[in-house]
Amino acid sequence: MTHTNITAFRKNVFGFVDQAVTYGEVVNVSTKNGNAVLLSEEDYNSMMETLHLSAIPGMVDSIKSAAAEPLEECVPYDPQEDW
């Protein structure tokens, strides 16, 4: 995470935005009224999706259970299979 103050941020807005978008760097901007955080849209959307999925009852347990399942026991995807 990069830390900067609002004055330095104003002087190099493009550089900080490019850091966030290109390298996934989170930028913390401090001001006298509090701090703000700049992150890429991709990182923001990923966080929102994770929060959404985590809010679905049983989803976290389902994901953990699936991750623990040995690959050799997994059934291959069949696009013809009825759900």
- Class at the top of the CATH hierarchy for domain 2-39: alpha beta
- Residue 14 banded pLDDT, cuts 50, 70, 90: very high
Q: What pLDDT is stored for residue 60 in this prediction?
A: 92
What confidence tens digit (pLDDT) does each residue in 21-77 have? 999 999 999 999 999 999 999 999 999 999 999 999 999 999 899 899 998 888 888
pTM above 0.85, yes or no: no
Rounded Cα distance between 12 and 17, Å, is 9
